[in-house]
Structure 1
C-alpha cells in the first residue's frame, strides 16, 4: 500500500521471533547463582562462618584505604589495567608465581591458626535463636 504523500511503498520489516527456551535457561541459571550468593551472604552475616566474615572485613578495610587514595574513576582504570596485565604476567612467570603463592598460603595458614587459637576460639558461638511470629 503506497503512502500518499511520498508515493513509495513502505519497506518490508520482517517479524522477529525469539525462542523462549534460552531465556528460561538463563533465568534459571541466574536464579541458582543468586540464591547461592544470598546463602553465602546470610552465612557471613549470621556468624556461621567466622573465616569468611573476617575475610569480608579485611577486604572492606583494604578497599576503604585504597578508595581514600583516589576517586572511583581511577580505581576503575586501575582495575581495568590489572585485568588485562595479570593474565599475561601469570603466563610469563607461572612457575615463580605458583611457588610464591604456595609459600604465601603456608604462611597465611600459620597466621590464621595462631589467630584462631588466640582470638576466634575464645568467642562463644551459641545456637541461633529463631524469631517467634
Structure 2
C-alpha cells in the first residue's frame, strides 16, 4: 500500500512542476512581447528630444546654473546680469566710462598701498602678472569659426530652395527678431534671452510631461493646417534643383 501511494504522489508533483514551468514560460513570453510594444510606444518629447534637459543644455556647470542645481550660484549670476542691465540701461552708464573708472580706482588703491607699506615697515603688495593664455584664445577662435561656417552652410542650404518649410520658418524667425529688435536695443534683448535661459529650462524640466502633451496636440493641429496649405498653395511653387543633379 505504501508503495502504491508513493507511485500516485509522483505524478502529482510532476504536474505541479509542469504547471509552474508553463506559467513561468508564458510570463516570460508575455514580457518579451510587451518589450517591443513599450519600445514602439515612445513618449512624445518637445522638438524630438531624446536626452534629458541637462544634457541638451550641454551638461556641466553651465547646465547646472541654468537648471538651478545650486541656487546660490544661479541667483548670483542672474543678479549680476540684472545689475549690469540696470547700470547700463536704466542709469544710462557707458561701458568705456565703467572700464576707465574701475581702472582708476584699482590703480589708485594699489599705488597708495605700495607707498603706504614703506611707512608701515611692511613689504609692498605682490601684484600678480595678468596674461591671457594662448590656448584659450585659439580654442575660442576655432569654436567661433566653426559656428560661423556652420551658420553660413545652413543659410546656403536654405537659399537653394530645396526645403520650403525650413525657408518659411527661418524667414518668420528673422522677421520676429527684427520686430523685437526695433522695440529694444541689443543689451535689453540679450538680458531678456539670459533671463529666459534661467527660467524656461527649469520650468520645462519641472512640468515636462504636461508641456509635452500640450505640444503633441499643438503639433498635430499644425500638421493638419500645414497639409491643407501645402496642398492648395505650396505644392504649386516650383522647387530648386536637387542635390543629386550634376551641373
Please give the range of the TM-score, normalised by the shorter of the 2 chains. 0.5 to 0.7
How does the TM-score come out when normalised to structure 2?
Answer: 0.38
Instruction: Tell me the distance in 2 between the aligned counterparts of 1:115 and 1:21.
Output: 52
Of 38-47 and 81-90, deviating more is 81-90
Listed as ranges, the matches of 1:82-97 within 5 Å are 82-97=196-211
User: Between Structure 1 and Structure 2, which shows a larger proportion of helix residues?
Assistant: 2
Partner of 1:47: 161
Listed as ranges, the matches of 1:20-99 within 5 Å are 20-63=134-177, 71-72=183-184, 76=189, 79=193, 81-99=195-213
Which sections of structure 1, spanning at least 5 residues, go unmatched? 1-5, 129-133
Partner of 2:241: 127
Instruction: Tell me the distance in 2 between the aligned counterparts of 1:27 and 1:79.
Output: 23
The yes-or-no answer on 1:103 pairing with 2:211 is: no
Give the deviation of 1:38 after TM superposition.
Answer: 0.8
C-alpha spacing 1:20/1:100, structure 2 compared with 1 (3 Å)? same
Q: In structure 1, which of residues 97, 116, 119 is the aligned counterpart of residue 230 of structure 2?
A: 116
How many residues are paired up? 119
Give the deviation of 1:52 after TM superposition.
Answer: 1.4
Q: Tell me which of the two structures has the higher relative contact order, counting C-alpha pairs closer than 8 angstroms and 6 or more residues apart.
A: 2
Say whether the 8 Å CA contact 2:159–2:167 is kept in structure 1: yes
Give the deviation of 1:105 after TM superposition.
Answer: 1.7
Higher alpha-carbon Rg: 2
C-alpha spacing 1:14/1:81, structure 2 compared with 1 (3 Å)? closer
Give the deviation of 1:41 after TM superposition.
Answer: 1.5
How does the TM-score come out when normalised to structure 1?
Answer: 0.64
Instruction: Tell me the distance in 2 between the aligned counterparts of 1:15 and 1:63.
Output: 43
Of 28-37 and 78-87, deviating more is 78-87
